[in-house]
Structure 1
Amino acid sequence: MFKLVEKTTQTPTTVHLITHNHWDREWIFTARYANRWLPTFFDNLFQRLDAEPDYRFVLDGQTLIIEDYLQQLPPDEAAARERDIRRYVRSGQLLVGPAYLQPDWSLVSGEALVRNLLIGGKMARRYGDVMKAGWLLDNFGQIAQAPQICKGFGIEGVFVWRGVEMPPESVKTEFWWEAPDGSRILGIYLLDSYRNAMVLGMTREIALERIAAHSKLLRRFATTPNVLLMNGYEQVPQPDDVLPIVAEANEQLAPEMHVLQSTPPAYLAAVRQYQPDLPVLQGYLYSGRYAPILKGVYSSRSYLNQQNNECQRELERWAEKFNTVAWALGFDYPEERFEQAWKTLLLNHTHDDMCGCCIDPIARDMQDRFAEVSRMARVMSSESLRAITQAIDTSAGGETAVVIFNPSSRPRREVVGISLEIPEAVAQFSICDENGHIIPYQLVSRIGDKTDLYLWTTHVIPAVGYRTYFVIPEHKEPAASPQVTASASERVMENEYLHVKINDDGSLTIREKIHNDVYENLGYFEDGGDAGDTYDYSYPQQ
C-alpha cells in the first residue's frame, strides 16, 4: 500500500489492542432482522465482563445499539440490564457514546450532526459516562467542520479511516486535523482499517503472528512507540476472547513489544504523552488514494436525500425556531416531541442508509420515517405560528389578516406563494401592509373560497420575524394584466419583458427585452444512464 521506509529503533513498541464491534444497524439487512442478534451479543458480552474485570469493550461509538437491545426486553429485565450497563460503564469496562449512531457526515445537515452527538451524549451520561473520542470508522469521507463539531463536545481526538491522504513517503498514523475555524484535534489514522486484528480468538493459532506483523508494519508509520490494533468487526455474536492472547503475546514477543488491551481515550493519551511533531491536515478529507470513499453513493436514491432535506428544513428552520419564539411569548415548548422527531430522523442518517447503498426494504422504511418526521414537524410548526399570530395586534387592518413569517437568519424581500380563504362573493380585492400601502400580487387561481396567489413583499421581512398584510375587498375593476402573446406553431411566447422560444431539441432560448440579454440552451438535460450499482457509477454500453 505504501512505500515502507526502514528505520531502526531501540524503544519497545507498545501495542494497544482495542476490542470493539462495528454495528451496522441497517445495510444488507433491516434493523428488525439485525436487532434479533442483540440479546445474544449482550448476554455474551456481560458474561465476559463479569468473568474478566480487566476486559474492555467499545460499543461502536454509539448508544442506539443499547436502546435497540433494551427495547426488546420485558420492562423488569430491561431495567436490570440497564443497571448492569451502568455498572460496566462506571467501572471503565464498557465504553459508550459519544454519538447516538454512526451517521453519514456528508449528506446530513450540521444541525443533525450536532443533535446526534447531543442525544448520544445525553444517553451515554445516563448509562454512566461518555467516551470522549470521535469514532469515524466507516463513513465515506470526512467534512471540514468535523474537528470543530467534535471539539464543541469536548472531543479532542478522533479515529478515522476513509478519506485521509498524505504523500506516500510521509504517511503517519497520527496527525493534527484542523477545521476552517482553526479548531484542531488529534487524528488517529486507521491505516489498515478498523478490523486489522479482528477475530484473534477464532484464529488463535496465528494470532501472535498477526499481532507481530501488523505491529511492525504500523510502527514504521507511527510518530510514537505506540501502535493501534483494532480487534473488532461487524455484527459478531460475541466479544473476542483476547486477554489470554495478550498474556501470551507479552511472553512471546517481549522485549520488542508490549501488548495491552486498551481504549480509545487511553490510546489518545499515550500518543499525546510524547508530544510528537505531527503533520497538519486541513479541511475536508475526501481522498480515495488509500481507502475507497465510494463517491457514487451521492447520486443513489436521490429521493431519500430530497426527503431528508425537507425534514431537516421543517425541523430546523420552522418548527424549532418559531416554537422558541412562541415559548418566549409564554407558550409551552414541546421538548419531548422534538427529541422524538430528531431521533426518528436520525435513524435514517446511518452511513449505509442515508447514502442509499442499502437494500430496497430499508429504503421503504426510511420513506415511512421521513413521512412521520415531516408530519410531526409540520404540526409543531403550525402550532407555534398560530400561537404567535394570536399575540399580534391586527385590529388596525381589514377583516382578513395575513401574517408572513421569515424563517431565515437574515432579512428577506421575496415573492411568496400563499393560499387564502376569501369569500367567493368578494369578486375583487387588494392587499395592503400595516401602513395602508397597496402590495402587488398575482392571482393564480380561485375555486370557491380558496384563493391562491403570489405576493411581492415590497418591504423587508425581519430575520426570524414577520410582517402583517390585510385583504381589502374592492368594488372596482382590476387593472389589466400585462399582455402575453403566444404562437403554438412558432413555439414562442412573449410579454413586454421576455421573449421565449422552444427549440427543436426541447431547450429554451430566452431574450430579456430591456437589456437585450439572450440565454440559450436552457432546460436541456441529458440522461446518460447508469450501468453501475448503489456504490459506483458505470457507463452503460453504447
Structure 2
Amino acid sequence: MKRKTAHIISHTHWDREWYLPYESHHLRLTSLMNELMDTLEQDERYRYFHLDGQTIMIDDYLQVYPDGKERLARLIEQGKIIVGPWYVLQDEFLTSSEANVRNLLIGHQEAARWGPVSKLGYFPDSFGNMGQAPQMLKQAGIEAAVFGRGVKPTGFDNVVVDAPGEYESPYSEMVWESPDGSSVVGVLFANWYSNGNEIPVDPEEAKRYWDKKLADAEKYASTPELLYMNGCDHQPIQKDLGDAIETAKTLYPDVDFVHATFDSYLAALGKHPSDDWVTVHGELRSTRTDGWGTLVNTASARVYLKQMNQVGQTLLEKGAEPLAAIANLTAGHKYPHEPLAYAWKTLMQNHPHDSICGCGVDEIHREMIGRFDKSRHMAEALIAESLSAIGSRIGTDDIAAWPENARPAAFFNTTGWDRGGVVTVDVQAVRINFKEGPSPQGIADKLDALKIGPGRVIDTEGRQIPAKIEDLGAQFGYDLPDDGFRVPYMARTFRLTFEAQNVPALGYKLYAWVPEEEGRGTDYEAAVSRNGEKALQEQADQLEKSSSIEEVVSTPYGMENQVLAVRFADDGSYSLTDKTTGRTFEGLGVYDDCGDIGNEYVFRQPEGDEMLTTRGLSAAITLVEDQPYRVTYEIVHEWEIPASAEDLFEDEKRRLVPFLKRRSGRSTDTVTLKLTTRVSLEASGKGVQVSVTLNNQARDHRLRVLLPTGLQTQTVLADSIFEAAERNIVPAPEWINPSNAQHQQAFVSLSDGTHGLTVANKGLNEYEVLQDGCGTIAVTLLRSVSEMGDWGVFPTPEAQCIGEHTLEYAVYPHAGNAIDSGAFAQAYQYQTPWFSQPLKMQSGTLPAEYRALTWSGEKLALSAFKQSEEKGDVIVRWYNLSGEDAQLAFEPKFAADAVYESDILERRGAVTETIRRQEQQAIRVPVSPAKIVTFALAVQPDTTPNA
C-alpha cells in the first residue's frame, strides 16, 4: 500500500469585505499580516502561507503599515508568502470578459513586483466557474486550477450515469476543459477550503480530528496525495501548527504530514497516473444538485451595483482603452498606462465575489458606490483627453459641402462593427470668454439676444440629416489649458439629436450643424461664396440624397421602420414583427411580481404565493417622441402589490430560521408600484430599446419582465465570459429549486433554428427561461430583500432597493440563432455608448472618416483594442462565439513593423506577419471553435494614419 501524504496548506480565505464593513476587516487583516510575518521569521517549522485574497491584500496591508514593505518583500522573495496570480478573488460571471483578463494581467504585474508569481488558477469560493477559465489560464502559463464550487463530488461508491463529465466527478481531482479544448488539472475542495482548519495539538483531540479528516479526504482523492486547507474565512493563522503536525506524525506513522504549497502538492499529484480522472467541460455551475446552493440569485441582489459595474467596465474597455490607443496612433498622445491601471484597480476593488454579488452588509455596498464613481470619473477624464487629442488633428476646413459657419462634430464608434444609431451632441454657436466682459450675466444676456435659428445638420456630402435641434441658450463652460490657468466662458449652445449611420468600427465619422444666423444668408449661399459652383450642384442634389435616409414612423397603435413593426396592446404589452422573416412575437413586456423571503444569496418565493402580472391590467399609452430618426411610446402602469412580507417574517429572521423552512407569506397591505416604460424604435434599428423607470416602495419581492418567444427549443444561449454558453433549459432531475435562474452578461437568446429572439441588457445579469410552454425569457429587474443570509443574522435594509430605479434592455428578432444571424453584435453595441467631440473649422492631418483597423470574420467578436505596457504594442483580441472554425482577416490602418501572436498577458509570441510600412496587407488567421486569439502589433514610433 502506498504511503499517504497529507499536504497542509496554510491560508486564510480573505473576503475583503462581507459581514463587517471594509475597514473592520481591514484592521483584522493588518493584525493577521503582522502576526504571519512574525511567525514565518521566528518559527522555522511554519514554512509557507498562501495569500488567498490575492495581491490586493498587499496594498491593503501597506496602507496601514507602509514600514512593513521591506519585510514583506523579503518573505515573498523567499517563497514563504505566495502571491498572485489574481488582483482580487472576483465573481467570474458578474464581471466582464475583459475585466477577468485585467484581473489576471494586473495580478501578475503586481505579484511580479514582489517576487515569484503563483501559477495557480485559484477560485476557492466563486459562485460557479466560467467555462473559458482553462483557456485563459493556459494562455497565462497556468496548468492547474483549484475551486470550491461548480462540480458535485460523488465519491468512489457512486456512479455518474446521466451526464458523465459534465458537472460530476467521483474524485476531487479531474481534468477541466474549455470549449476550445484547452485543459488544466482541476482540483475540487470536495471537503471545502477549511478541511484542515485548526488542527489539534492534543493527541486525543488530534486522533478524533484526523480519523475523520483522513477518511473524508480519502473518500474523494484519486491518489495518496491528500489536500488539507489550514484556514477559513478571516481565519487567524495557526501559530502552533508545527506542534500539531508533530502530533499527527506520531499518531499516524504511515502518513507523511508536510507543511506544503500548492506547487509542491501539484508536483506530487503529477507523479501519479490520471487515466481514470473525469473530464469536466466548460462552465462549472453544479446543475446536478438540488439547486439551492448555486447562489445564482446574487446576480439580482442590489441590481444597482450591477448596473454601475456594467457602465464602469464598458467605459474602460470600450471607451478609455481604444480611444487612448487611437489618440496615440493618430495624434501622438501618450497612452495613459498608469491612470488606466488605477481606474481598473479601483473598479476591481468592487469585484470580489461578496462585493459585486451584493451579498454583504449595507456599509460595504455604500462604499462601493464611491469606488464605482471614482473609476468612472477617471475613465471619463481619460476619454475626454483622447477625444480632444484626436479632434485637434481632424481636418474640417477642406470639406467642400460645408460653409464657413459650420460647427462640426466627430462621432466615435468604439465597437468592433460598423454602427448606426441615435446620437446627441452639444455644439457652440458663439462663445465669449469671461475676460472679454462685461460680466457673466452681461455675456449671457448678449448671447441670448443673438438671433440664431435652429439651422440644419448635414453630413460631409451635404445631405441634410433629420434632426432635433434644441436651443439651450447661454451655457457656462470652461477650458483647462495645459499651459495656463482655467478659462471660463459662456456659449450660446445648441443640442443636436439625430441618427448617425455607418460609422466605422474603431473609428469616427463627421457631421456638422449649420446655424441660421441673421445677415449671413443660407448655408447654400455661404457654400457658393466659399466653394463656387461646385456647391450649387451639391445643393441641387441634396433633396435627392436626403430621400435615401431611413426613417421610422408612428402608427395609431405603434411604430415601424423598414425591418420591424411594433404594436401595443391595452395592457401595455407589445408585439414585435420581423418584416424580414415574417415572424411576430406577441405579448412582450408583461411584468410579474412575487414575494421573496430569501436573502441576498438566494431567492425564495413563499409557499402558495400567487404570481402577480400586469397581463390585462389597463395601462396609459402615450406617444412621447415622434421624430424621423426615433419614435418612442410611454406606457404607465399603476399597480397595487403587497407592501412587504407578513410580520412573521421579521420573527423568522431574528430566530435564524433557514430560508427553506420559513412560512411567512405576503402582507395584505398594498402599495402602488408605478412603472413607466419607454419603448423606442430607431430608423435603422433592428430591435426595440426599452427603459423602465419605477419608484419601488415595496419590500420582500421580486420584479421581472416577461418576453414570451413561442419558440420550442431545449437550450438557451447566454452571453458569458468569452463565449455564448449553451445551457439546457430543463435542469437535471436533482434540481428541486422552483426557480432556474441563470447568469448572463450582454444577452440571452432563444432560437428554434428558423427564428430567434435575443434580449440584450445593461447590467441585468439574471434571467430565467420559464417552463411555461411559451419559451418565455424572464429578466429580473429588481429583487428586494432584507438580510445578508448565510451563517448569521445580518440585517440589510438597503438591499430592499427602496426608491427610484431605471432598468434598460433591448429586444432583437432575427432569423436563425444569435450567432449565425449576427444579433450578438447588436447586443454588444447596445451596451456601448457613443462618444462625440465638437470640432472647429480647422486644417488637420486626419480625414473626415477614419478607422484604426479593418477586419472580417463571421461569428467572431472583437473584445479589446488597447496598448501593452511593456512594449507599447497595440493589443487586439477576438474570440470565436461558435462551435465551428472561423476565418479572421485584419489589417491595421496605421504603420506597424510586425504582428505577433500574443495572449491574455500581452506577451509577444511568434511573429505572424511582417508588415512593410508602405505595403499594408491583411493578416489571415484561422480561428478554431471557441478560441480566444490575441495579437500584438508593433507600432512604428513615427506612425501616420491612413484613411
Moved more, 506-515 or 81-90: 506-515
2:459 to 407, 416, 433: 433
- Please name the residue that 1:455 is paired with: 498
Q: Is the 8 A contact 2:201 2:247 kept in 1?
A: no
Residue 138 of structure 1 aligns with an amino acid whose one-letter code is D
Q: Is the 8 A contact 2:191 2:216 kept in 1?
A: no
- Please name the residue that 1:419 is paired with: 426
Q: CA deviation at 1:92?
A: 2.2
- Please name the residue that 1:70 is paired with: 62
Secondary structure in 2 aligned to 1:471? strand
1:261 aligns with 2:259: yes
1:407 aligns with 2:414: yes
Residue 443 of structure 1 aligns with an amino acid whose one-letter code is K
Separation in structure 2 between the aligned mates of residue 59 and residue 513 of structure 1, nearest angstrom:
57
Residue 323 of structure 1 aligns with an amino acid whose one-letter code is A
Secondary structure in 2 aligned to 1:348? coil
- Please name the residue that 1:191 is paired with: 190
Map 1:293-312 → 2, pairs under 5 A: 293-312=294-313
Separation in structure 2 between the aligned mates of residue 515 and residue 88 of structure 1, nearest angstrom:
65
Separation in structure 1 between the aligned mates of residue 310 and residue 192 of structure 2, nearest angstrom:
31
Moved more, 512-521 or 212-221: 512-521
- Please name the residue that 2:514 is paired with: 472
Separation in structure 2 between the aligned mates of residue 482 and residue 414 of structure 1, nearest angstrom:
12
- Please name the residue that 2:3 is paired with: 12
CA deviations 1:341-368 (Å, max 9, x no partner) are 1111011001101011111111111111
Residue 523 of structure 1 aligns with an amino acid whose one-letter code is G
Residue 382 of structure 2 aligns with an amino acid whose one-letter code is M
Q: CA deviation at 1:516?
A: 8.9
Q: Is the 8 A contact 1:406 1:465 kept in 2?
A: yes
Residue 58 of structure 1 aligns with an amino acid whose one-letter code is H
Change (3 A) 1:134 1:495: closer
Separation in structure 2 between the aligned mates of residue 417 and residue 259 of structure 1, nearest angstrom:
67
Q: CA deviation at 1:513?
A: 9.8
Moved more, 446-455 or 223-232: 446-455
Q: CA deviation at 1:234?
A: 1.6
1:365 to 339, 360, 367: 367
- Please name the residue that 1:344 is paired with: 346
Separation in structure 2 between the aligned mates of residue 305 and residue 511 of structure 1, nearest angstrom:
31
CA deviations 1:105-155 (Å, max 9, x no partner) are 110012111222222222222222111112211110000111122222222
Of Structure 1 and Structure 2, the greater strand share is in 2
Separation in structure 2 between the aligned mates of residue 107 and residue 27 of structure 1, nearest angstrom:
17
- Please name the residue that 1:113 is paired with: 100
1:43 aligns with 2:34: yes
Separation in structure 1 between the aligned mates of residue 358 and residue 195 of structure 2, nearest angstrom:
27
Change (3 A) 1:258 1:289: farther
Residue 441 of structure 1 aligns with an amino acid whose one-letter code is P
Q: CA deviation at 1:483?
A: 8.3
1:537 aligns with 2:624: no
Separation in structure 1 between the aligned mates of residue 455 and residue 244 of structure 2, nearest angstrom:
84
- Please name the residue that 2:177 is paired with: 178
Residue 93 of structure 1 aligns with an amino acid whose one-letter code is K
Q: CA deviation at 1:494?
A: 6.7
Q: Is the 8 A contact 1:219 1:226 kept in 2?
A: no
1:102 aligns with 2:100: no
Change (3 A) 1:425 1:125: same
- Please name the residue that 1:5 is paired with: none
Q: Is the 8 A contact 2:429 2:515 kept in 1?
A: no
Q: CA deviation at 1:336?
A: 1.6
Secondary structure in 2 aligned to 1:159? strand
Secondary structure in 2 aligned to 1:414? strand
Moved more, 123-132 or 15-24: 123-132
Q: Is the 8 A contact 2:514 2:523 kept in 1?
A: no
Secondary structure in 2 aligned to 1:181? coil
Residue 411 of structure 1 aligns with an amino acid whose one-letter code is D
Separation in structure 2 between the aligned mates of residue 188 and residue 366 of structure 1, nearest angstrom:
32
Change (3 A) 1:391 1:51: same
Change (3 A) 1:442 1:125: same
Separation in structure 1 between the aligned mates of residue 101 and residue 336 of structure 2, nearest angstrom:
19
Moved more, 162-171 or 16-25: 162-171
User: Percent of aligned positions with the same letter in both sequences?
Assistant: 33
CA deviations 1:280-305 (Å, max 9, x no partner) are 11100001556922112111001100
Residue 507 of structure 1 aligns with an amino acid whose one-letter code is S
Q: CA deviation at 1:484?
A: 6.0
Length, aligned pairs only: 520
Q: Is the 8 A contact 1:215 1:229 kept in 2?
A: no
* Structure 1: runs of 5+ lacking an equivalent: 1-9, 487-491
1:59 to 46, 51, 54: 51
Residue 344 of structure 2 aligns with an amino acid whose one-letter code is W
1:86 aligns with 2:62: no
Residue 404 of structure 1 aligns with an amino acid whose one-letter code is F
Separation in structure 1 between the aligned mates of residue 559 and residue 180 of structure 2, nearest angstrom:
49
Secondary structure in 2 aligned to 1:349? coil
* Structure 2: runs of 5+ lacking an equivalent: 160-168, 431-449, 474-491, 517-521, 525-542, 607-664, 667-947
Q: CA deviation at 1:456?
A: 3.0
Q: CA deviation at 1:53?
A: 2.5
Separation in structure 2 between the aligned mates of residue 410 and residue 496 of structure 1, nearest angstrom:
22
Q: CA deviation at 1:518?
A: 5.9
Q: CA deviation at 1:405?
A: 0.7
Separation in structure 2 between the aligned mates of residue 148 and residue 372 of structure 1, nearest angstrom:
32
Residue 336 of structure 1 aligns with an amino acid whose one-letter code is E
Separation in structure 2 between the aligned mates of residue 513 and residue 412 of structure 1, nearest angstrom:
21
Separation in structure 2 between the aligned mates of residue 482 and residue 111 of structure 1, nearest angstrom:
35
- Please name the residue that 2:397 is paired with: 395
Residue 500 of structure 2 aligns with an amino acid whose one-letter code is T
Q: Is the 8 A contact 2:459 2:465 kept in 1?
A: no
1:528 aligns with 2:594: yes
Q: Is the 8 A contact 2:146 2:186 kept in 1?
A: yes
Moved more, 166-175 or 49-58: 166-175
Separation in structure 2 between the aligned mates of residue 515 and residue 127 of structure 1, nearest angstrom:
59
Q: CA deviation at 1:422?
A: 4.4
Residue 242 of structure 2 aligns with an amino acid whose one-letter code is L
- For normalisation by structure 1, the TM-score amounts to 0.88
- Please name the residue that 1:30 is paired with: 21
Q: CA deviation at 1:322?
A: 0.8
Q: Is the 8 A contact 1:441 1:453 kept in 2?
A: no
Separation in structure 2 between the aligned mates of residue 142 and residue 232 of structure 1, nearest angstrom:
22
CA deviations 1:506-529 (Å, max 9, x no partner) are 334578999998654343212223
Of Structure 1 and Structure 2, the greater helix share is in 1
Superposed CA RMSD: 2.9
- For normalisation by structure 2, the TM-score amounts to 0.52
Change (3 A) 1:418 1:526: farther
Separation in structure 1 between the aligned mates of residue 33 and residue 119 of structure 2, nearest angstrom:
22
Change (3 A) 1:499 1:105: closer
Change (3 A) 1:351 1:411: same
Secondary structure in 1 aligned to 2:511? strand
Q: Larger relative contact order (C-alpha < 8 A, sep ≥ 6)?
A: 1
Separation in structure 1 between the aligned mates of residue 561 and residue 310 of structure 2, nearest angstrom:
37
Separation in structure 2 between the aligned mates of residue 484 and residue 333 of structure 1, nearest angstrom:
46
Residue 587 of structure 2 aligns with an amino acid whose one-letter code is N
Change (3 A) 1:482 1:205: closer
Q: Is the 8 A contact 2:470 2:495 kept in 1?
A: yes
Residue 97 of structure 2 aligns with an amino acid whose one-letter code is G
